[in-house]
Structure 1
Amino acid sequence: MTNRISLKSVNLHYASVGFSERSLKSMLASLATLKGGGKKIVDIHALKDVSLDIGPGERVGLLGHNGAGKSTFLKMVAGLYPISSGKRVVEGTVRSLFDLSLGFEPDATGRENILYRGLLLGLSPKFMRSIEEEVVAFADIGEFIDYPIKTYSAGMQVRLAFAISTAVGGDILLLDEVIGAGDANFMGKARKRILDLVEQAEILVLASHDFATLRSICARGIVFHHGEIIFDGDMPRAISKYKTVNGLVA
């Protein structure tokens, strides 16, 4: 099987209430207001008629203003967001680095959460047990590994999640921005591990505002603007297009 991403006329919509509200309570309150004659629910057209093909060996960078659709695109490719119409084909093992806190059980220990998160990533309990000590050593959070996650600082949670999520690579690697994961020593380890995963992956899709990183890693650039792809070509011209569209150059 050839590793690939193939999208044909993909559209993705959000319900505006569900997209804007951050809690179930606030969503229910909004729905109650709507029933009482408040503003109408409007769908947000997050991805608009997206068509592209990415094949083995490609290193693709995504550019766009905040809210342009980069993160939504990555989550759609990963299968986290269902498409509204069109065709999505993704062949190969997908590994993604975003939403690092996803899958943690607050009342369980860090060690228990290594297993839980591994299962969420589609890995077997036997495999997770085999890499547990490697994950613990990489996260480097000391005795807290045997404490409940709810006692962790935000930085400790990110470090443990990063250690778990990057313990094994995949055919298709999806990255969303640079991950801040603690002190300088840990960040050095994190960057090295990401570069190792990039090297091992057959396909890389990276969303970033860091032009230097995009230039150094990616040959192909895709520019999103309000959910649409407005450029797909070599990275230097993609960066130029992004700057022009967003008023960063004359």
Structure 2
Amino acid sequence: MIDRQGLEPGQPSDPAGEPSPGLPRHVAIIMDGNGRWATARGLPRVEGHRRGVEALRRTLRAAREIGIEIVTVYSFSSENWSRPPAEVSFLMGLLKRFIRNDLAELHEAGVRVRIAGDRQDLAPDIAHLLVEAEALTAANQRQTLVVAFNYGSRQEIAAAARSLAEEVAAGRRDPASITPEAIEARLSTAGIPDPDLIIRTSGEERLSNFLLWQAAYSELVFQPILWPDYGREALVEALAEYGRRERRFGGLATAAGA
């Protein structure tokens, strides 16, 4: 169970910054519901995205205070390019403003930024900002923020398989050496522990091509709240639900008689 002390709104997990017992090490979030939030209020969809960035700021600060070591956010999928060009352009602008405006705060807070996703064919200014964010924060150790941008899990797994197949074809690898570990080493999340908890907002209950390999044993929590309304209280509720779960990883329950 999660230690509820320190998880009340407005309180850090521990005065010394140590995480509470039972907290997930790695939380991944599918930030869903921006468009529906805006439509329900008679606002343009882009206003929902703008408010979604504010929710991201609130949630990241809360996660740091609570003591979550790694946070991964699904910021832009490889399928999102099919949205109307004006909306895509606005989302790219939001990404650039977020990095320019928030990177200094993240760096000062000791957050290391990692980017997961396909960087080929990105606009040069976007690609440069992603490199800058990773380079500036590379030595930080308080928390890792993984931004899944231009990310699709099927594409990621296919790229890993293609890389291994090329090594086999070139005679540099024995097919028998292709193990789960070999595939993991070629994913864009290589070196990052799998998420303990995946949260999806808006009430939808699917992964939408997000961390399909990495989610093999993740706990999934689906919350009805739309992303622009998300913040510390909703995060604490998801963590409390995680604390009620018993993670078995394919084994037996630890409770007597289970």
TM-score normalised per structure 2: 0.29
Higher strand share: 1
